[in-house]
Amino acid sequence: MRSLRNATMQHDDEVFMALAMEEANAAAEVGDVPVGAVLVSNGVVVARGRNRREECGDPTAHAEMEALRAPFGAGWRREGTTLYVTLEPCPMCMGALVNARVERVVYGTTDRKAGAAHTLYRLGEDPRLNHRVNAVGGVLAQECREQLTGFFRELRKRRKASNAER
């Protein structure tokens, strides 16, 4: 029975991560780094977010923050929810997940420069904080990584072509 539950959870994680990847695609379409997120409660998507830093000119407009800011339930607590995000959350976003009382964060690929779930920090596990966030990484990791590397590869090509025209 336990392995069936784990298989079901893994399938659900992949389904919701694919939805987060759709949000990431929407970010890329307007020139933002392709990071997407969905917030899930009881198996239902209750909020979506995507990176909007360039679009909004706001350094805090990360996908996770956008999903957490969306209206859901009464008040600011997001207890019992899972946030799916294509890139490992940074310290700001992990801090927000802790403060919002999110139960679980599932991310696609690691962030070697700012990862705060496992890579550089483990904020969700810090006993000095008032809440713990269970972090799971590597769901559709290759697909999420390719989404990011493809975006930056195209951005470098465009910049190189623009510089060559000058």
Look at strands 104-109 and 134-137 and give their pairing: parallel
Sheet holding 44-50, edge to edge: 44-50, 36-41, 81-87, 104-109, 134-137
Q: Output the pLDDT for position 113.
A: 97
Q: How far is CA 149 from the centre of its chain?
A: 16
Residues 81-90 as b/e (b if ≥16 CB within 10 A, e otherwise) read bbbbbbbbbb
Catalytic residue among 64, 125, 143, 154: 64
For the entire predicted model, the pTM comes to 0.92
Residue-level pLDDT, tens digit, the chain, 166 residues: 456 567 677 889 999 999 999 999 999 999 999 999 999 999 999 999 999 999 999 999 999 999 999 988 778 999 999 999 999 999 999 999 999 999 999 999 999 999 999 999 999 999 999 999 999 999 999 999 999 999 999 989 888 777 777 6
64 is an active site residue: yes
